[in-house]
Amino acid sequence: MNEKPLIAPSFLSANFMNLGRDIEMINSSVADWCHMDVMDGVFVPNISFGFSIIKIIKQHAIYPLDVHLMIIDPDRYLERFREAGADILTVHYEACTHLHRTVSKIRDLGMKAGVAINPHTPVEVLTDILPYIDMVLIMSVNPGFGGQKFIPRTYSKIRRLRQMIDSEGYDVLIEVDGGVNLENARDLVRAGVDVLVSGSGIFSTPNPVDTIARMKQIV
């Protein structure tokens, strides 16, 4: 675990009429990554941004792009997400028939490989893939929309996953996304989270830069 959490503001909650302003806001903060949720309207009931927006943000953001694919058959697009600027690419356990092949390809392309699981999926399904990935993203809401309420059972999943990782000595980060804010961030970090993804929990606050700084200081 990191001594202090990594903070990844989610652009799903950015103001796309003022995208440049929000990118500069993140650049001026003590954030660590820029989190981007890609949705296809099939795997989740919503559609978000694609390659062109990722390329624009990559051109102007100073932090690594943490790209979360909420799409079916992600293997079709791995090279294109690398070309668009993804530094970390996360696919869903539920969307990949041959998960080991997918994460191996992501790493071969020079990106960090992450695997996400939905709220109903137990962490134990990751036992055999942990040696081959860099991060697990635990969804703490049902994926597809921002601003949802955090699912409390997530804490027990994080603790179980933390024990699985630490007992084997794996170098795997735990990321959590969904309903993350200043009210629950400390409990999440104490449960074992390394990376806090927050959209509305950052962008909807009066001073997002200060909110990021406060999250960063949580131990």
The domain spans of the chain are: 6-216
The set of catalytic residues is 37, 177
| pLDDT category of residue 2 using cuts at 50, 70 and 90 | low
C-alpha angle 8-9-15 in degrees, rounded to nearest 5: 160
Model confidence pLDDT, tens digit, residues 55-107: 999 999 999 999 999 999 999 999 999 999 999 999 999 999 999 999 999 99
**How close are the terminal C-alpha atoms of the chain, in Å?**
11
What CATH superfamily classification does 6-216 receive? Aldolase class I (3.20.20.70)
Exposed (0-12), middle (13-18) or buried (19+): which is 30, by Cβ within 10 Å? Answer: middle
Specify the long-range contacts of residues 161-166, CB closer than 8 Å, at least 24 apart: 161/123, 161/126, 161/136, 161/192, 162/1, 162/191, 162/192, 164/123, 164/124, 164/126, 164/127, 164/130, 165/130, 165/136
CA-CA-CA-CA dihedral for 212, 214, 112, 60, to nearest 10: 20
pLDDT score for 148: 72
| pLDDT category of residue 3 using cuts at 50, 70 and 90 | confident
Percent of the chain topping pLDDT 70: 97
Average pLDDT over residues 2-30: 94
Torsion-angle region of 47 (φ positive above 0: left; ψ -120 to 50: alpha; else: beta)? beta
- Residue identified by tokens 């950052």 is 202
CA distance 128 to 166: 15
Average pLDDT over residues 21-31: 98
* pLDDT(48) > 80: yes
pLDDT score for 81: 98
Model confidence pLDDT, tens digit, residues 171-205: 999 999 999 999 999 999 999 999 999 999 999 99
Could you give the 3-state DSSP secondary structure of residue 119?
A: coil
Reading across the β-sheet that carries 65-70, which strands appear in turn?
Answer: 6-9, 195-198, 173-177, 135-139, 112-117, 88-92, 65-70, 34-39
The residue among 123, 82, 75 whose CA lies nearest residue 98 is 75
Average pLDDT over residues 137-162: 89
Average pLDDT over residues 42-55: 93
| pLDDT category of residue 42 using cuts at 50, 70 and 90 | very high
Model confidence pLDDT, tens digit, residues 153-168: 999 999 999 999 999 9
Could you tell me the pTM of the whole model? Answer: 0.96
What is the C-alpha radius of gyration for the chain, rounded to an integer number of angstroms?
16
pLDDT score for 1: 59
Q: Where are the alpha helices (DSSP H) in 28-77?
A: 51-60
